[in-house]
Amino acid sequence: MVEGSGRLSGRRCLITGGSRGLGRALCTTFARHGATVAFTWRRHEAEAEATVAACAELGVTARGMCVDATDNRAVKAAVAELERELGGVDVLVNNAGISQVMPFALMGETDWDRVMEVNLRGAYLATRAVLRGMIRRKSGVILNVGSLAGVRWIDAPVHYSTSKAGLSGFTGSLAKEVGRHGIRVLCVAPGLLEGGVAGNLPEHRMAAYLQHCSLGRLGAFEEVAELAAFMASSPNSFMTGETIVVDGGV
């Protein structure tokens, strides 16, 4: 295994949407820090296999599960399978999400509903599925992947921004409810990242973002994944209910 801090040693982690992009970086970073990794994917089987291979290079056998984040039965079945095989889920990362570059005036109901269904309902379903086990064990971490667009007024698709703002609210309110069970709930809100939704932005919007970014660059998936690993770890045991922005200083 490539050397890591071991801060997630022994932790059983489920990462939704782990086949590529930030999801893959989360899987490999968590693996490098000692976690047992399972992840969901839906459409990109070859990408999912690449995530498994990347974890294998670190000495970790990752489990990829073909699950639609919006399918309640499939999500419940996947979590039940992990409960049987691993004995539980210690860390859930709600990473599965979609975006769509579209002006609000042209946005159809199906456009709005689909983004809300994946980004918000998907997080609700996965969290509900793992929560009973966490409550029974009196420990656990729910880490939601939000966005800078959910906490700052920036030029971003309205339905995407609204869904990510909802995740921030979900984080704070759920943290209040489950804290008495020893469960922490957090949200990491990245700015634009290399290889992420930034690839769909017009050149003038990218230039405007970089102009307002103190560091003058896009972030890397691995930078966000390292922060996520710390947020989910025991050394960070006194933080809950917070949305942490990592955006290079916008």
Query: What does the pLDDT read at residue 83?
Result: 97
Query: What does the pLDDT read at residue 72?
Result: 98
Q: Tell me the pTM.
A: 0.95
- Look at residue 1 and tell me whether its pLDDT is greater than 60: no
Closest residue by Cα to residue 8 from 54, 60, 46, 44: 60
Query: What does the pLDDT read at residue 183?
Result: 98
User: In this structure, is residue 4 part of a structural domain?
Assistant: no
User: In this structure, is residue 3 part of a structural domain?
Assistant: no
Query: What does the pLDDT read at residue 221?
Result: 98
- Look at residue 2 and tell me whether its pLDDT is greater than 60: no
**Residues tagged active-site:** 160
Q: Compute the Cα dihedral for 128, 133, 139, 140 and give only its sign.
A: negative
Copy the structure tokens of residue 202: 């017009």
Alpha carbon distance 122, 95 (integer Å): 9
- Give the tens place of pLDDT for each residue, 86-97: 999 999 999 999
Half-sphere exposure (Cβ direction) of 93: Cα atoms closer than 13 Å? 34
Instruction: Report the 10 Å Cβ neighbour count for 7.
Output: 17
CATH number at residue 83: 3.40.50.720
User: In this structure, is residue 23 part of a structural domain?
Assistant: yes
204 vs 243, residue with greater confidence: 243
User: In this structure, is residue 7 part of a structural domain?
Assistant: no
Averaged pLDDT for residues 25-30: 98
On average, the pLDDT of the chain sits at 95
Query: What does the pLDDT read at residue 5?
Result: 67
Number of domains in the chain: 1
pLDDT-derived band at 196, boundaries 50, 70, 90: confident
pLDDT-derived band at 40, boundaries 50, 70, 90: very high
User: In this structure, is residue 6 part of a structural domain?
Assistant: no
DSSP string, 95-156: ---------GGG--HHHHHHHHIIIIIHHHHHHHHHHHHHHHHT-EEEEEE--GGGTS--S-
DSSP string, 33-62: TT-EEEEEESS-HHHHHHHHHHHHHTT---
Cα angle, residue 196 at apex, residues 194 and 200 outer, rounded to 5°: 105
- Look at residue 200 and tell me whether its pLDDT is greater than 80: no
Query: What does the pLDDT read at residue 126?
Result: 98
Residue 189, strand partner residues = 245
User: In this structure, is residue 234 part of a structural domain?
Assistant: yes
129 vs 207, residue with greater confidence: 129
* Structural domain span for residue 48: 12-246
Instruction: Report the 10 Å Cβ neighbour count for 137.
Output: 15
- Give the tens place of pLDDT for each residue, 137-193: 999 999 999 999 999 988 889 999 999 999 999 999 999 999 999 999 999 999 999
pLDDT-derived band at 3, boundaries 50, 70, 90: low
Query: What does the pLDDT read at residue 148?
Result: 96
User: In this structure, is residue 1 part of a structural domain?
Assistant: no
Query: What does the pLDDT read at residue 203?
Result: 85
Query: What does the pLDDT read at residue 175?
Result: 98
User: In this structure, is residue 38 part of a structural domain?
Assistant: yes
Closest residue by Cα to residue 56 from 30, 28, 83: 28
